Amino acid sequence: MKRAIVLLTLSLLLLGTTVATAQDFFAEREFVRINTRDVTERDIVADMGFAIDYVNLEAGWVAAWVPKKQIPQIERLGIIVEPLESKDTMPPNYGPYHDYQEQVEAVQEMAATYPEITDLYTIGQSIGGQDLWCLKISDNPLQDELDESAIIVVALHHAREILTPEMALYAAQQLVEGYGVDEEITYYVENREIFVIPTLNPDGGEYDHATGNFRMWRKNRRVNEGSSCRGVDLNRNYGYLWGGVGSSASPCADTYRGAEAFSEPESRALRDFTRAHENVRTLLTLHTHAKLVLYPWGNQSQHIDDQIDFLTHKTMAEYMASILKYSPGQASSLYRTTGDTTDWSYGELGIVSFTWEMAPSQYDITGFYPPPSIMETELPRGWNALRIMLNYTREPSLILATDPWKLTAEATEDAVTVEWATLVETNAKGYKLLRADEGSGNFEPLHDGLIQTDKGDYLFVDENVEPGASYEYLLTFKGTNNNDVEFDPIAVTIPGSTDDDVSDDDAIDDDTAADDDTAGDDDAAGNDDADADDDDDDDDDGGCGC
Ligand code: 0X9
Ligand code: CA
Ligand code: ZN
């Protein structure tokens, strides 16, 4: 926290020097569309000293805030310049970031373009009366499909953390665009309910850049009774151990916790929405900036009691952090807080929950307002890390499994039952089960297509068996990302149809072992010889008919 305060002070000093120039900036410039025809012309324009905010590569033109006296210079080159209406309220050079209105337009456009896999609705209103939008991405989006596990991705609790809505929107865009194109994404859309809330704090977010420059605002915009200071820290307002360490009772503080737990409509909206969807298994809340992947607890340095839950969070954080090139850790290792989102979502509802403190790192002075170019690295990485969560949302603890928990084949006279329990199913397509006569190496698939994942326990009954035969079963996992796995084949012998019932029973017991060595040992046992003799006799009997 100390570091954050130092950073805050430095940033405010910097901002103080830039506020005055921001007004001049707008006064002297015009937002225009420059109809460059090719990259040569764009190079010339880009060399004139002002920043290009947008390039339309198909049509060739660019948009920029151009100093008024430079407009004739451009026109003299034979390039047409037209005024552009900028509804974008983001400060200069931050055009690629979405202000609130643009976020709403972005999710509206996704919903309009992909109606068969989206539903767009509000989960409530901010204290200033602005809608808190949620884009649901799933097949049959108008139905609550409780057999599908659900994930919530929520951004912008803190007004100044402008990279976070970008991450949420980028992930949503990947999902809707990839549906029906990319197998892994299609799988997620069909088997998950994905709830994306790009901003939980629209009032704070808009206030933060309302002057045309950023002002390091963190909280929402509540008018606090009896105080001239506005705002509640939404990430101190959740109702799990609310009101304790790492939160302030002073309305003027940046970490003001509010008058009571869930006093704020924004945190209440997320609470009610989450409670209303009992299939939510994972939650990601997006913050900046420190390059961290954090998990509960935030309120105490002890780990989560439940060992599986603890290791699940820890392991998933490690996976995601390695993709993001961030550091994983328990939230309290940063500093302790009470009333944050993930302590509540895990503490009250048992949801596997993470806070990302996205880039840049805490040492970077551009901190909350990194140049738009940061999106080029961070958003694709973030999306890849989110895929880990999407994958494990059905049963998060499966991230602890590295092999099949179980892989057995049991033989009776009429069938072999192959059973396996889940292994790591990263980028899963499904399973394929093959069979060969033992020792032949000639494996043939036992079924068309793939056995779909998302079931937990798997079972295949092979009824096409012959008494006395020995088979090997080969289980293969098919991944979408060159991550196929072939497991060691397991051998079984079908009990022979002899009249020696006692021997048959022995054989059944033997065959339940999935271990070749065990079978070998059994072959060496005395009664197996007797079996062999019996079989010979049977054959002879059948042959002679007497
Ligand atoms: O302090 C917060 O709310 C989060 N950091 S931020 O810089 N985005 O404000 C961190 C919350 C994680 N929880 C704990 N550290 N306990
Ligand atoms: Ca669905
Ligand atoms: Zn934050």
pLDDT, tens only, 193-213:
999 999 999 999 999 999 888
Query: Tokens at residue 75, please?
Result: 């026109």
pLDDT reported for residue 50: 84
Q: Which residues make Cβ contacts (< 8 Å) with residue 449, sequence separation at least 6?
A: 430
pLDDT reported for residue 87: 63
Pairing of strands 118-125, 81-83: unpaired
CA 166 to chain centre: 14
- Whether the CB of 134 sits within 6 Å of ligand 1: no
* DSSP-assigned letter for residue 459: E
Closest CA relative to residue 528, chosen from 510, 546, 515: 510
Q: Which SS3 state, helix, strand or coil, does residue 348 take?
A: helix
pLDDT reported for residue 275: 98
Neighbours of 431 (CB within 10 A): 22
Closest CA relative to residue 383, chosen from 426, 323, 427, 318: 323
Distance between Cα 159 and ligand 3 center (Å): 8
Asked whether the beta carbons of 295 and 347 are under 8 A apart, the reply is: no
Q: Which SS3 state, helix, strand or coil, does residue 105 take?
A: helix
Rounded Cα–Cα distance for residues 444 and 474 (Å): 9
pLDDT reported for residue 64: 83
**Where would I find the beta strands (DSSP E) of 415-469?**
416-421, 428-437, 444-445, 457-462
To 10 degrees, what angle do helices 501-511 and 526-544 make? 120
pTM of the model: 0.67
- Whether the CB of 341 sits within 6 Å of ligand 1: no
Residues with a beta carbon under 5 angstroms from ion ligand 3: 158, 287
Rounded Cα–Cα distance for residues 36 and 82 (Å): 11
pLDDT reported for residue 5: 37
Rounded Cα–Cα distance for residues 451 and 428 (Å): 11
Rounded Cα–Cα distance for residues 215 and 209 (Å): 7
pLDDT reported for residue 23: 46
pLDDT reported for residue 12: 38
Query: In the chain, what is the greatest distance between 2 CA atoms, to the nearest angstrom?
Result: 115
pLDDT reported for residue 46: 87
- Whether the CB of 163 sits within 6 Å of ligand 1: no
pLDDT reported for residue 144: 98
Question: Which atom of ligand 1 lies at the shortest distance from residue 297's CA?
Answer: 16
* DSSP-assigned letter for residue 91: P
Rg of the chain, C-alpha, whole Å: 31
* DSSP-assigned letter for residue 229: -
Closest CA relative to residue 267, chosen from 231, 213, 302: 231
Neighbours of 173 (CB within 10 A): 17
- Whether the CB of 221 sits within 6 Å of ligand 1: no
Rounded Cα–Cα distance for residues 341 and 46 (Å): 43
- Whether the CB of 340 sits within 6 Å of ligand 1: yes
Question: Which atom of ligand 1 lies at the shortest distance from residue 1's CA?
Answer: 1
Distance between Cα 282 and ligand 1 center (Å): 19
444 is catalytic: no
Rounded Cα–Cα distance for residues 188 and 48 (Å): 46
Low-confidence ranges of the chain (pLDDT < 70): 1-27, 53, 86-88, 401-405, 422-427, 454-456, 480-483, 497-546
What φ, ψ does residue 234 adopt, rounded to 5°? -60, -25
**CA dihedral for 241, 243, 246, 247, sign (positive or negative):** positive
Rounded Cα–Cα distance for residues 204 and 37 (Å): 40
Task: Considering the candidates 161, 357, 425, 472, report the single residue annotated as catalytic.
Answer: 357
Residue whose tokens read 């948009």: 63
